[in-house]
Structure 1
């Protein structure tokens, strides 16, 4: 099975948040650590938030947290958030 880059990045984000439980991580922090642009992270977080995998915290010290404890989340949840697009056939 081929994992598309959005899925790979979503899993990397989820793993990063799992390593920092109970602490909101900013997109700037995550982007610097994972080498992903902040604007791309925001796009990914929009989908992860919509699917109930992460929540955002506003204000100073804000950022993103996992909704559930890491041991209750499967990698499949992050992958399912970004279904593979079918290629158009000519």
Structure 2
């Protein structure tokens, strides 16, 4: 599942690069989400027992997806897929 998540993140970055200007608020939301997901993947790879707060990543992804849908419809499917993957992982 981590490979699907990594691929979805790569797709999101590619889509963002081609989407044109994105307002700063949404850019910051995406940066924070990206960082949280990367931390989660690093902790899983290191198999650490540290308590990680992952609650809400799927929900945040869906909220960001809804906000992007109107202004950047080409990004919405990638964000929706990312949210689905996170939800399936129980995150």
Shorter-chain TM-score: which interval? 0.3 to 0.5
**Higher RCO, Cα 8 Å, sep 6+:** 2
Q: Report the TM-score when normalising by structure 1.
A: 0.36
Q: Which has more strand, going by share of residues?
A: 1
